Amino acid sequence: MAVAALIVAVIALRAYLPVWVTRAINQQLAELGGYHGHVRDVDLALWRGAYRINGLVIRQTDAGDEQVPLVSAPRIDLAVSWAALFKGAVAAEVEFQSPQINFVHAPSSDQDQAGQGVDWREQLQALLPIRLNAVRVYEGSVHFRNFEADPEVDVYLTDLAATVTNLSNADRRDGIQVANLDATARVLDGAPLELAMQFDPLGEMAAFELDLRVRDAALVRLDDLLRAYAGIDVEKGQADLVVELAARDRVLDGYGKLLLRDLDVVSWTQDVERDDDNPVLLGWEGVLTGVLTLLTNQQEDQFALRAPITGKIDAPRGRALAAVISIVRNAFVEALKADFESADEEAPFPESDRQPAQDGPRERHGPPGRRPG
């Protein structure tokens, strides 16, 4: 009889446990310093040390439910990392399936949505109260929106696949531990984006290395953004963006390159006959077209600049004179290329300070791939 009662109690506990975990998570997400979150339910797989969170939504508290959420994730899988466990460490791996992040620029600070004021790393850690070893994202998207602009702005990344590894085995007694981030995505459904980053997972982003490149972005897909923020229409053209940054002790050193090819800003048919642009805007576009034409490399049909990036992380600076010189050099001496330069500045993470990555060596600029199965 006692055994039967025990079995019934265990079954009842197992049936109630997902409800209790769901309530506990929702209590954790109820107040996030200007944001609040909610999950629909939780599925448990105790035999393999895992659980699944379904229907995560995080919204800005003051903006109301009519605004798009900051974060929505239909499914999050959290599980014990067996690879780490076999090495004597208890750590977890997290997988986000089809998450979406929405940044919103609005005239009112109450509706301006950028995720500020919250330690999101701490909140993620609170969802699973053991150390995180790896975070993986599959089929994600990121949007920058402005609902007040005319027309509305929506610039986005899709097909986002990202992997962050080597988060958990950091120990200050043994030197700096380096975590790795590798990501790929599509900008506006077409242009490939690649990102590689190294950082100290226990630090406050005072030291990191970052390589970012976007190739062949169709400028006409950015027309709404350019009209809202630069007051110009783009009729055609492609853009490449390359950024290499390194930070040590919160001091930046790096550069950004922007390459524009086959660029056309003024179109009589679109700007005058169809869009009915005012004379001031049309005149501004005409002047801009003349300047760009003068400073375009005629052989490559390319306008380009390279701007050094220096200064503190919270107050970065660009050097205007160096950028202007790069424009002239691209136009009349040698065309810039959308390549990483890998300058030999002092690395933020000297090899002597690094600990071996428990996930194996990192292949730079490699795609993180898609979720198997």
Structural domain includes residue 370: no
Together in a domain, 168 and 312 = no
Together in a domain, 120 and 26 = yes
The whole-number average pLDDT for the span 93-105 is: 92
- Residue 288: pLDDT band (50, 70, 90) is low
Together in a domain, 162 and 137 = yes
Tell me the C-alpha distance between 302 and 238, whole Å.
9
- The confidence score (pLDDT) of residue 140 equals 96
Tell me the C-alpha distance between 171 and 151, whole Å.
50
Tell me the C-alpha distance between 355 and 373, whole Å.
33
**Residues shown for the chain:** 373
* Burial tier of 171 (Cβ tally within 10 Å: 0-12, 13-18, 19+): exposed
- The confidence score (pLDDT) of residue 272 equals 46
Together in a domain, 59 and 12 = yes
- Where is the domain boundary, 173, 204, 235? 204
Residues 61-88 have pLDDT tens digits of 877 666 789 999 999 998 876 555 555 5
Angle made by CA atoms 170, 174, 178, in degrees to the nearest 5: 40
Structural domain includes residue 315: yes
Together in a domain, 142 and 130 = yes
- Where is the domain boundary, 176, 204, 232? 204
- The confidence score (pLDDT) of residue 150 equals 80
The whole-number average pLDDT for the span 165-183 is: 69
**Can you give the residue range of the structural domain that contains 37?**
1-204
Structural domain includes residue 197: yes
The whole-number average pLDDT for the span 114-119 is: 77
Together in a domain, 216 and 184 = no
- The confidence score (pLDDT) of residue 192 equals 95
Please enumerate in sequence order all residues whose Cβ is within 8 A of that of 146, keeping only pairs 6 or more positions apart, or say none: 104, 105, 106, 152, 153, 228
- Where is the domain boundary, 204, 230, 256? 204
How many structural domains compose the chain?
2
Together in a domain, 91 and 221 = no
Token reading at 233: 């229409």
- The sign of the torsion formed by the CA atoms of 62, 65, 69, 73 equals positive
Quote the pTM value: 0.78
Together in a domain, 319 and 237 = yes
Mean pLDDT, all residues of the chain: 77
Together in a domain, 101 and 190 = yes
Q: Name beta bridge partners: 306.
A: 257
Tell me the C-alpha distance between 150 and 224, whole Å.
8
Residues 202-216 have pLDDT tens digits of 667 778 999 999 999
Structural domain includes residue 344: yes
